[in-house]
Structure 1
Amino acid sequence: MLKAGLILNNDFDEDAVLAAKQATASEHGRAQMLKGSAWMTIGSILSRILGALYIIPWRLIFGASLFPIANSLYTQGYNIYSFVLIVAIAGIPSAIAKQVAHYNALNEYQIGVKLYQRGLMLAVGMGIISALILWLGAPFLTNGDANVIPVIRSLAWAVLIIPTMSLTRGFFQGYEDMAPSALSQFVEQLARVIYMLLSAFVILRVFNGSWVTAVAQSTFAAFIGAIFGLLVLGWYYWRRHDYYQQLIAQSSNKLSVPTRQLYREIIMQAAPFVILGAGVTIFSLIDQFTFFPIMQATTKISMQALQVNYAIFAGNANKLTMIVISLASSIAITMVPMLSAAFTRKNGQEVRYQFSNALILFEFVMLPAALGMAAVAGPLNRTFYGTSNMNFSSNILSFSALQAIPVGLFVVAAALMQGVSQNKKAVKFFVIGTVVKLLTQYPLVVWMGAFGTLLSTILGFSLANYLILRVLSRQFGIETGRVVQKTAEILLFSLVMYVVSLVGVYALNFLIGLVGNPFGSLASFFVTVVVACMGGMVYIYLTLKTHVADEVLGQKVQRLRDGLHIKS
């Protein structure tokens, strides 16, 4: 039908031919984005789930008395480590992915490989310098708690090799090959969790050792995990070596980029990634270094109680909501190299289409995930963290799940800006959002306590998101009508799912309460799984019934609709 419509009396309608080509390119771009997002989502979700599930046996190993302070110590050390690690990586992996995609689009594969090799030298150097800074600077980063020192120093070892591992992931992503990153991420997390649980058990249960030493070994597990993750990437690179050599042999070789210029490109592209990549961590550090002083100055709550409160919102809730935010990260990581390639080809329509589709895909996944977690916050929190501070912990988790929406949107929006080389503006808008966070932190914490830190984060990221999306819409264009329509539909279906899930939680708690304790860990796990499945089925049914899923995921979902016997 399409071919017949393009030909009339042997004359070609050039506009129709062009439109057909653009439609094909757009569909291919969506397919690539979905495939890449699928790989990154699987790897990221599995890694995050492992990173959350470990808390159950870890909590049991430490026991009810030690777990709250151990978790607070772990969280404080990890927040500092995360920031230093981002600086150590220096945004090089994302910059490499962007630049490799750029040169690949120009059929200059040899320059992309050379870029990776030069970046590798930078990564090794940054790893060594940052590890030394972390080790020597540990006494000055304790926030008044000397127990943080061995925890920070144990994490310095991981900083040595993670930049190299992350850079190699960026190289694969530049080829829009997300499988190596996804698998290495999962293996890294698996090795980390196994080591941290074994070391904690041996130190505390076998030798009755220090809980601080057990926490330090739990954080040292990041180094063990990184070794295994790097081995997986090395295996992938070895398998693909011949393929890369073929591409290099077929390169145009019309460009000659001096080594000094390659380093300049890496640094110029990487610098904004440092700030934007550290965005979530910077906000967490603001909480870490302001929450305690504000609460101590305005309340009479003991330091131990504050440590418990901090662990609940910065540790417990954050571990679970990061599972949701990792969905946004998966989309963002996939977007950068594809947008860079389209931008390099000056394909304005493809860029606009990818902008719009990325936003819709983000909403399609993020809104139901965040609202679903908010609905099951009570039983989910009890499953992982028990019944201590039950109501406060559940409310914090519910609010944190909603906070994940603007945080996740920032991850995607910043990636869109980076993909079209609007790095400076993205950094500017993030700085404005950070200023809002700082200005609202004190009054909101005084007024709402731990909830105030979450609300100030929402305000800061929401403003940054608004500024970024406004610039993208003005300069490159976003299919506003399509995005608004799909947003309204997705939000409606997500709210329906939220209400159904909330009713399901209360109904199951009531029924279980007739015969036993509905707030035990096993009962809470049962409620979480049943309600999550029920809510997911409601959302899937609504999106398939109304063809919203087709708009986001393509026509292949018709098979799913047929399999479920859902009539349009």
Structure 2
Amino acid sequence: MNEIDNSQGDASRDKMLSGSAWMTAGSIFSRILGAIYIIPWRQWFGDYFYRGNALYGFGYNIYSFVLIVAIAGIPSAIAKQVSHYNAMNEYGVGIRIYKRGLVLSAALGIISASILYFGAPLLDGGNANVIPVLHSLAWAVLIIPTMSLTRGYFQGYQEMAPSAISQFVEQLARVIYMLATAYIIMEVLHGNWVTAVSQSTFAAFIGAAFGTLTLGFYYFKRRAHFRGLVANSNNQIRVEPKQLYQEIIAQSVPFIILGAGITIFQLIDQYTFFPIMRNISGFSETEISDLFAMFAANSNKLIMISISLASALAVTAVPLLSEALTNGNKTQIKSQNTNVLSMFMFTMIPAALGMAAIAGPLNRAFYGAQYRSLAANVLTVSSIVSILMGLFVVTSAVMQGLSENKRAVKYFFIGTAVKLIVQWPLIHFLGVFGPLISTAIGLLVANYLILRYLKGHFGYDTKALNATFVHVGVGSLLMYVVAVIMVYIGNMLISIFANPYGTIASAIVAVISAVVGGFIYLYITLKTRTADVILGARSDSLRAKLRIR
């Protein structure tokens, strides 16, 4: 029995690792592209950079929420339902669900885009510059739901490559358009910075168009394979169109709330930070806008690179857990829970601490030396908070995969209530750090409630997770210390020849420190065999290449 259990655990871990590798690669490359563009963008915006980035972030937070509602959790719901019926060898039902979902997603895209476009004056928060930004973003809402739905369909088959590649193509097209229009408007035409921001946000539509075309290519390439699966299905289940819509919607609604979890917290910050700061401080509107940009736009863009690791795990976990639940395999469910939490710790903790270690040069490389110390401290705190953000992304996805949607939503609302309660006093006493700490407290509560429930009703290997946490924690802390020392030495050496706070110098220090720190972490986890828990047999080949005994 133990051999069977172990083989099941290894198989589920390998499947999750393979899927996560694709989703992680696509997500990280996309996030890196989405962060790197800021360097030339900042140069071209000049003195308008902080205001431009704040406006960009303000519009994007609203857009993200509307988009999540427009997508309505349908991709994850489709992935879950397709995986459910595929496990029953009823591939035809999964395809019918996808086709019905296309109609639903197209309708939601049209409705949500109209709300965003025509409702822009009601959502601008008193800033008229937000209106043209929201108008430009409405076009993306038209087609992204259909694109996301198709990604969910592929994920239901545990085919992560089409999603990952389309995600990268989408981001690449978006960044190219952003940079081209920003350069032309600001450098060539010396135009209005609000117009440049509006074109930068319209780039979301350009990226979505290219991402959709990429998915279409993969769908037609795989169409014969899908038809073959349908032909060899049991074909014993007949689901009426009305029931298909009911299943999609029933699964989707909780995904809306949980998928929008981080965005909802950011919207709370967006609509409370400005009025609270106006009442408690003597800062001007420009200064408050700069502070908002510092934590809500600048730092957030960088920590989302780390959180994308958690998102990749979450996307992979849902269909796998749904399949295990459909088969009634409690051992596999426990194994999957242990695997996803172990993989989360192995990747997210060192990523967050690594970013905190190089926060100073990293922030200067992307956003310049303005507010140098304060901005670096904000990024440091944001990096630590990102661990709790990523954990919520993963744990809520696990609950969804196990059909515990309503309970997960309940726990999220409790965490949201806690954030709302502590928001005002924390901003009052901690200023720009207040929203970050309130988010940490709210998510800490939500994560605790979810993990407690998972432990009591589905289980995970606490002993294995504790051991992983200790080893990962030690390795991450050693990596952090080494990276901090490398930053100090790097700044000291560069100061002999040049300004250590310049963009290029800061980028060099950040990259070298990150590489050295990352190597230390990899070496420690391979040496202590901690990586074996996550990577399995792949660890042996890595040890051989690095000559680790």
| Superposition TM-score, scaled by structure 1 size | 0.96
CA distance in 2, matches of 1:536, 1:44: 19
Write out aligned runs for 1:124-203 (5 A): 124-203=106-185
Are 2:323 and 1:338 equivalent residues in the alignment?
A: no
Paired residue for 1:387?
A: 369
CA distance in 1, matches of 2:69, 2:413: 17
CA distance in 2, matches of 1:544, 1:298: 51
Are 2:478 and 1:491 equivalent residues in the alignment?
A: no
Paired residue for 2:24?
A: 41
CA distance in 1, matches of 2:424, 2:244: 44
Write out aligned runs for 1:374-453 (5 A): 374-453=356-435
Give the deviation of 1:27 after TM superposition.
Answer: 1.1
Paired residue for 2:80?
A: 98
CA distance in 1, matches of 2:409, 2:318: 16
Give the deviation of 1:476 after TM superposition.
Answer: 0.7
Are 2:317 and 1:367 equivalent residues in the alignment?
A: no
Amino acid of the structure 2 residue aligned with 1:532: A
Amino acid of the structure 2 residue aligned with 1:483: L
Write out aligned runs for 1:133-532 (5 A): 133-532=115-514
Paired residue for 1:11?
A: none
Q: What do residues 24-60 of structure 1 show as CA deviations (whole Å, max 9, x unaligned)?
A: 2221111110000000000000000000000001111
CA distance in 1, matches of 2:2, 2:235: 32
CA distance in 2, matches of 1:212, 1:514: 40
CA distance in 2, matches of 1:358, 1:94: 17
CA distance in 2, matches of 1:415, 1:445: 30
CA distance in 1, matches of 2:120, 2:104: 24
CA distance in 1, matches of 2:543, 2:181: 48
Give the deviation of 1:208 after TM superposition.
Answer: 2.1
Give the deviation of 1:515 after TM superposition.
Answer: 3.1
Paired residue for 1:554?
A: 536
CA distance in 2, matches of 1:113, 1:166: 16
Q: What do residues 139-186 of structure 1 show as CA deviations (whole Å, max 9, x unaligned)?
A: 011111101000001000000000000000000000000000000000
Are 2:6 and 1:23 equivalent residues in the alignment?
A: yes
Secondary structure of 2:500's aligned partner = coil
CA distance in 1, matches of 2:327, 2:6: 16
Q: What do residues 275-296 of structure 1 show as CA deviations (whole Å, max 9, x unaligned)?
A: 0000000000000000000000
CA distance in 2, matches of 1:221, 1:291: 28
Identity of aligned residues (%): 57
Runs of 4+ with >4 A deviation: none
Paired residue for 1:5?
A: none
Q: What do residues 59-116 of structure 1 show as CA deviations (whole Å, max 9, x unaligned)?
A: 11111x1111111111100000000000000000000000000000000000000000
CA distance in 2, matches of 1:347, 1:523: 54
Are 2:45 and 1:62 equivalent residues in the alignment?
A: yes
Give the deviation of 1:503 after TM superposition.
Answer: 1.2
Q: What do residues 324-365 of structure 1 show as CA deviations (whole Å, max 9, x unaligned)?
A: 000000000000000000110000000000101100100000
CA distance in 2, matches of 1:293, 1:73: 16
Give the deviation of 1:560 after TM superposition.
Answer: 0.9
Amino acid of the structure 1 residue aligned with 2:180: L
Amino acid of the structure 2 residue aligned with 1:38: A
Amino acid of the structure 2 residue aligned with 1:229: G
Are 2:81 and 1:109 equivalent residues in the alignment?
A: no
CA distance in 2, matches of 1:42, 1:515: 37
| Superposition TM-score, scaled by structure 2 size | 0.99
Q: What do residues 346-395 of structure 1 show as CA deviations (whole Å, max 9, x unaligned)?
A: 00000000101100100000010000000000000010011011111100
Q: Tell me which structure has the larger Cα radius of gyration.
A: 1
Q: What do residues 240-298 of structure 1 show as CA deviations (whole Å, max 9, x unaligned)?
A: 00000000000101211111111110000000000000000000000000000000011
Paired residue for 2:35?
A: 52
Secondary structure of 1:438's aligned partner = helix
CA distance in 2, matches of 1:528, 1:304: 29
CA distance in 2, matches of 1:421, 1:388: 48
Give the deviation of 1:514 after TM superposition.
Answer: 2.8
CA distance in 2, matches of 1:199, 1:510: 38
Amino acid of the structure 2 residue aligned with 1:320: L
Amino acid of the structure 2 residue aligned with 1:286: I
CA distance in 1, matches of 2:295, 2:542: 39
CA distance in 2, matches of 1:82, 1:456: 21
CA distance in 1, matches of 2:80, 2:26: 21
Secondary structure of 2:128's aligned partner = coil
Amino acid of the structure 2 residue aligned with 1:155: L
Secondary structure of 1:83's aligned partner = helix
Q: Return 249-258 or 80-89, whichever deviates more.
A: 249-258
Give aligned pairs, total.
Answer: 549
CA distance in 1, matches of 2:42, 2:434: 27
Give unmatched runs, 5+ long, in structure 2. Answer: none
CA distance in 2, matches of 1:253, 1:348: 27
> Alpha carbon RMSD of aligned pairs, Å?
0.7
Amino acid of the structure 2 residue aligned with 1:164: T
CA distance in 2, matches of 1:334, 1:511: 44
Give the deviation of 1:526 after TM superposition.
Answer: 1.0
CA distance in 1, matches of 2:265, 2:72: 18
Paired residue for 1:71?
A: 53
